[in-house]
Amino acid sequence: MTTQLPPGLQLEKVDERIMTLNVGPQHPGSGHMRLIIKVDGDYIVSCDPDPGYVHRGEEKMAEYRNYIVNIPHLERPVIHDSCNVLYPYCLGVEELLGLEVPERAKYLRVIASELNRCVYIQYWLAIYGIFLGHSTMFMWPAGDRELLIDLLEKITGARVTHAYFVPGGIRNDVPANFEDMCLKRVNYFEKRIKEYAAIFYDNPILISRTQGAGVLSREDAIRLGTTGSTLRASGVDFDLRKKEPYDAYGELDVHSNVLKDGDSYARSKIPWLDMLESCNIIRQALQKMPKSGSVRVKLKPNPKGGNDEVYKRVESGRGSLGCYIVSRSQPEPYRLKLSVGSFRNLICMPYLLKGEKLGNMPAVYWSLNYWPVEADR
């Protein structure tokens, strides 16, 4: 007699031709996550992404800490992009507490978050390069990233975990000769990243490797709810800095980069174009920034919000990053939810990898601009 097993416990039928491969969860090739890939020979039949190995409970932790003490741990999901991760949280708390951010702080926030975006993208580009076997593309971004890290260290006092943004402005004003220092570095940085074109993006070997791999059509990109560079590489012009300008972005001329192909090559080129755009934004912001003034609103200890809820989102290095805060007249948030770009981009991985060669897996996987720690929160 055969007993009917409940759904979920049923045994899988095994095909002789199909082999299951676990890519991850140890680091090589996947980050802190697992891809359960079924292959038929060299071709991928199905792919099941399995995140959750680095879940830290950031959202639950936030319910037991007040609005200021939440800052250091909320930037942990993506320490390389820590300013952008804190940005929606600060915007949300400012609306809850009714704070008006000083004009100078708005511009300094834009500069810090654009610098941080470049730092993040350089780190991502280094990993993308090394996983495609292009070791020069690991060394160059990792080295040039140091220029901006050094600048951010002079502003915020830490290399990666800045804890720089606070509800009501920024922690401290910039050092005395900041504008000169920033302009010099950003100009040199721009000159350097333009050199990447010849060795990486116009390199016929890379083009033949990534062009046409993992094509995401415009309709699929919208249907699957992707954001950021993945969405813009598929031909959808959606950049929150332009569509829903926050802080000083409304007064700056922001150009969003769009490519139509939707393949790995386009997805890897968009962040590089974003870095060039970031350099433009920083130069504009330096020009328009008020030369002096307050940078932070003085807060009472343990500030309380009303019975209210708020949702704010910003464009991070990986796409739209939202923060939903519910307040119940307490110094702590009643509920805090982070809606992150990485998790949304993860959903299209099974669609992209189906029918691809196994060798294309790293090219497709890393082109999604996916950060496992952020997806798990």
Partner 1 sequence: MGTATGIIKALNSGIKHLAIKRFTLRYPEQKLKFVGDGYQFDPTTGVGIAGYKGRHMLFHDKCTGCQLCAIACEGVAEAIGMVKVQDEWKHNKKGIMPQIDYGKCVFCGLCVDACPFYALYMTNDYELSSFTKEALIYTPAQLQVKPFVQQDAEIIFDSRGATHG
Q: Which of 270, 210, 261 is nearest to 235 (CA)?
A: 261
Q: In the block, which residue shows the tokens 């949280």? A: 89
Of 192 and 354, CB closest to partner 1 = 192
Q: Which of 173, 140, 175 is nearest to 154 (CA)?
A: 175
Q: Which of 28, 123, 76 is nearest to 317 (CA)?
A: 123
Of 52 and 157, CB closest to partner 1 = 157
Radius of gyration of the chain (CA): 22
Task: Tell whether residue 220 is a contact of partner 1 (CB under 8 A).
Answer: no
Task: Tell whether residue 133 is a contact of partner 1 (CB under 8 A).
Answer: no
Task: Tell whether residue 172 is a contact of partner 1 (CB under 8 A).
Answer: yes
- The token pair at 335 is 């509920």
DSSP SS3 for 166: strand
275 vs 317: CA distance, rounded Å: 10
Task: Tell whether residue 6 is a contact of partner 1 (CB under 8 A).
Answer: no
147 vs 151: CA distance, rounded Å: 6
Q: Which of 148, 61, 77 is nearest to 112 (CA)?
A: 148
One of 276, 299, 326, 358 touching partner 1 (CB under 8 A):
299
One of 20, 48, 55, 205 touching partner 1 (CB under 8 A):
205
Nearest distance from residue 65's CB to partner 1, in Å?
Answer: 4
Nearest distance from residue 263's CB to partner 1, in Å?
Answer: 18
Task: Tell whether residue 121 is a contact of partner 1 (CB under 8 A).
Answer: no
Hey, which residues between 56 and 85 contact partner 1 (CB under 8 A)? 64-66, 68-73
Bond prior to 25 in cis (omega within 30° of 0): yes
Of 29 and 157, CB closest to partner 1 = 157
Site string for partner 1, 179-198 (x = CB under 8 A): -----xx--x------x--x
Question: Quick one: 50 exposed, middle or buried, by C-beta within 10 A (0-12, 13-18, 19+)?
Answer: middle
One of 74, 110, 121, 147 touching partner 1 (CB under 8 A):
147
Of 20 and 135, CB closest to partner 1 = 135
Q: What are the residues binding partner 1 (CB under 8 A)?
A: 64-66, 68-73, 136, 143-144, 146-147, 150, 153-158, 161, 163, 171-175, 184-185, 188, 195, 198-200, 202-205, 207, 294-299
